[in-house]
Chains A and B, each alone.
Chain A
Amino acid sequence: MEEKLALMIEAAGENSERALAKLISHVEDRKTGWKDIMKTIYAKTGRTCVIGVTGSPGAGKSSLVGEFAKRLGDRGYTIGIIAVDPSSPFSGGAVLGDRIRMRDISTYQNIFIRSMATRGMLGGLCQAARDVVRIMDFAGKDIVIIETVGVGQDEIEVVSAADYVMLVTYPGGGDSVQAIKAGVMEIGDLFVVNKCDREGADIIVSEISAMLDLSTETAAKIPPVIKTSAFTKEGIDELMDILSEFIQKKKKGPHYQKDHVRQEVISILETEMVSIIKERITGNGNMEKELELILSGKSDPYSIADKLMKRFTVIKNVEEKRKGDFQ
């Protein structure tokens, strides 16, 4: 590995904010040597508690994160926050504004906030976010909070890789309960009805509780549903109690779980495969001629996909093996 990177890693491990930030950029940008960085630091990670926060837009997630991060910070924990916002599909750029709602903690010595754009990475966001979590972990953060807007599948996957997942909704969101239903119910360890100073919070709490009741098999597993307000501070103490309990538990438990590790290896492989496919098969006008065949009625997408697969020896082997299995 380049000496520059080694020095950066060393400095990040010794609490240099600047080095930590640079390390994150290097890995997020997938610059040469990024994987070496990850390999080097891996052994020193796995200690941090990762809290995922997601929910409908407008639910006040950033304010809520700001509030409980502040209290955790006051208790002496070192904290990393990753705030994920979508990139523009047109320009690839982004406006990342979550810091606006975390102004109170933006100069806390023990809190490090990093905004992250989704960058339209096909399935890659999850891995990139996981990498950033890990770098913060390596830099000694006791707790890493990762916040996303729970809209895209990618964003949901990001938080589901956390140790503890908080789903946030609010009264007045119109379809606030609907937003939770759509495929994210299962990943929640805690349901928070934020902005509970507004009318209708109790109704949402009971609706969510009813839904959980119906969808969860054993009573012991039903996750708690609480009301909070980052504005009036109602319910924040209760939230802190729940989080503290989790943090204590995580500290005693194993560093990594087999399920998560398996998921991660698969995810890294998938990302790499996708990029290989893009580069070697579908990129650079490689399949323009084949597309013409489909359009002129001489072939079909299925046959073309089979044909393209054969161009790529590694995949060809896999394909043949799979064929064998089915025959």
Chain B
Amino acid sequence: MKKNSKKEIKEALKKWEGEVLNPRVKKFNLDKSPTTFYTPISSDSSHFLEKVGFPGQFPYTAGNTPLEFWRAYAEFGAKLNYRSDWGGTGRSGKYGGFGTPADYRDYLLRMQSMGRKGGPNIAFDLVTQCGYDSDSHFAEGEVGRVGVAVDSLRDFEIIYEAYTGDLDIDKVPSNFTINAPAAVFIAMYACLAKKRGIPLDKLTGTPQNDILKEFIARGTYIFPPKQSMRLFRDTCVFCCKHMPELNINSIGGYHIREAGATRVQDLAFSMANGIAYIKAGLEGGLEVDEFAPAFTFNAFGGSMEIYNEIAFQRAARRVWAHILRDRFHAKDPKSMQIRQPITAHIGCSSTTLQRPLNNLARAVVGGMAAGMSGAIPGAFPPFDEPLGLGHSQEATQLQQDASRILLFESKVTDVCDPWAGSYFMESLTDEIEKDALAELEKIEKMGGTVAAIENGYMQKAVARSAYERQKKIEKQEELIVGVNCFISEHEIDVSINRQVEATYDPQLMKTAEERQKENLVRLKRERNGTAVVSSLRSLKVQAEDKDKNLMPAICECVENDATLQEICDVLREVFGEAQPMKI
């Protein structure tokens, strides 16, 4: 057989459109149909090595590695009846936190006695996330609610009473979902190690430490963007120098997309944020390959559009790799890779409160996309996600099983980047990359993320996109089963039993605020007041000189039992406070 030339294909395509496609379009009035057919001329296959490459090689389009580490353990784990949400030694356990530090410690101990031995993956309450103490007037009703309340090193130490011996902090990693006051928590982690006589270079884990997306999407900011980036710089340098095994941050596009951003905005804003963090590290005097390998990503956003999400992951890997290599001259492959625990998924915002069991079907779609884009095919989230705070045991079981079915029965992960070379997927990947780069350039022209936050561009863009989508749903331009279509009385609402594990005792919850306030009173009575005042004063002096690294001063405050709010208040005084944006 003779090879087809591009010209031949082009001509054949034209003929096909004229003789086969167009008459059909006309006959059934299909000019608005999204269905498309792709051919070799849809994509540029002549640059396979540059644009796709092999898994584990630049530009990482096909994946960070040819064989992800979990593949080695997958079958082993299956035979051992391993539950990924329980955590095992050496990896993080289930994300959580509630009540007072003692409440949470007791919970962790109880979990450990049941075999759930993962390292702590701590959720903090909103009071802590916003840099207030439990006795602040902002705290009312919020103490210990969406996470554990931590006011001081003493509280932090109480949580870690659950991690000693085989589970000491040089043996299990810790994750902290903390952003605006991340510097204080990194300092607490370091002080805890010091008190336990553990060298800092033995500490592993990940603080989220991604303040920029808080301004764009999640809203738990404290200081203005510029000053927040100074704190990031200081943590970056400190971690790099003293805690080389600890990841520096966990950059997230997930929250940005969930707040309403489009796919392209998600990618462009995440990349812009990443660039800002890299620049902060460089500004701190580091070489790019010293710290960029310690950057992680928690997740980008997701949606039900399976093809687009797979293309998105491929494009993201390529864009980041190019930014690091071409712009920042990174040499270490790890600097150029997007290290993230999951890839594609549907995002919590794709789940519906209406006929919630359908969310399982939706999550499986996301699991497929994940499996085809380089990750464990996680059917995330559990179907009852939109029903309220807390997943039932049934939903978690179904989620776990769906992922296992995808992994072991469908064998979706048996091929690395199964879409590589597809005319369609390569063209879609190129398209997302191109659009995201154009949006990124727009932000760069404004002066980068910090400027685009200060002038409100990013926040407004996200809010507008969210509203545009809502309008499409209401006009039925986007169809969501059980929400805006197929909602007649002929449909039935299928339900199953839901048992929400009583992890958090409601009685404890009720008294958490009061008990934590008492803890705070006791702390303030018992600590050395003079030492607190003098360390806070020294922090203030250091903060006023923007070239100083604040971490040593923050460590000193933490060690002297200064509270989180006391530390943040000093910084508020010097840095000012971030203002919410008018939409």
Contacts and interface: CB of A to CB of B under 8 A. Distances in A.
Interface of A: 58, 62-63, 95, 97-98, 100-101, 103, 231-232
B582 A62 contact: yes
Contacts of B224: 231
A98 B579 contact: no
A97 B583 contact: yes
A101 B455 contact: no
A295 to B, nearest CB: 35
A58 B576 contact: no
A101 B578 CA distance: 11
Interface in B559-583: 576, 579-583
B310 to A, nearest CB: 37
B444 to A, nearest CB: 16
A103 B576 CA distance: 15
A314 to B, nearest CB: 45
18 contacts: A58-B455, A58-B456, A62-B582, A63-B579, A95-B583, A97-B582, A97-B583, A98-B582, A100-B579, A100-B580, A100-B581, A100-B582, A101-B579, A101-B582, A103-B580, A231-B224, A231-B576, A232-B576
Contacts of A62: 582
A58 B452 CA distance: 13
Contacts of A98: 582
A63 B455 CA distance: 14
Contacts of A95: 583
Contacts, number: 18
A139 B82 CA distance: 71
Interface in B355-399: none
A98 B582 CA distance: 7
A106 to B, nearest CB: 12
A95 B464 CA distance: 13
A62 B456 CA distance: 15
Nearest to A66: B579
Q: What does DSSP make chain A's interface, helix, strand, loop or mixed?
A: helix
B573 to A, nearest CB: 12
A63 B456 CA distance: 15
Interface string B45-77: 000000000000000000000000000000000
A318 to B, nearest CB: 45
Contacts of B456: 58
Which one of B455, B579, B581, B583 has the highest number of Cβ atoms from chain A below 10 Å of its Cβ? B579
A58 to B, nearest CB: 7
A101 B580 CA distance: 7
Given A63-B579, A100-B579, 16 more contacts: A58-B455, A58-B456, A62-B582, A95-B583, A97-B582, A97-B583, A98-B582, A100-B580, A100-B581, A100-B582, A101-B579, A101-B582, A103-B580, A231-B224, A231-B576, A232-B576
A95 B580 CA distance: 15
A231 B456 CA distance: 16
Contacts of A100: 579-582
Chain A CB count within 10 A is highest, among B456, B576, B581, B582, for B582
Nearest to A63: B579
B245 to A, nearest CB: 39
Nearest to A195: B454
Contacts of B579: 63, 100-101
Nearest to A231: B576
A148 B92 CA distance: 53
A95 B576 CA distance: 27
Nearest to A97: B582
Interface in B426-484: 455-456
Nearest to A230: B579
Nearest to B224: A231
A258 to B, nearest CB: 39
A214 to B, nearest CB: 31
B569 to A, nearest CB: 16
Contacts of A231: 224, 576
Nearest to A198: B454
Contacts of A58: 455-456
Contacts of B581: 100
A101 B455 CA distance: 14
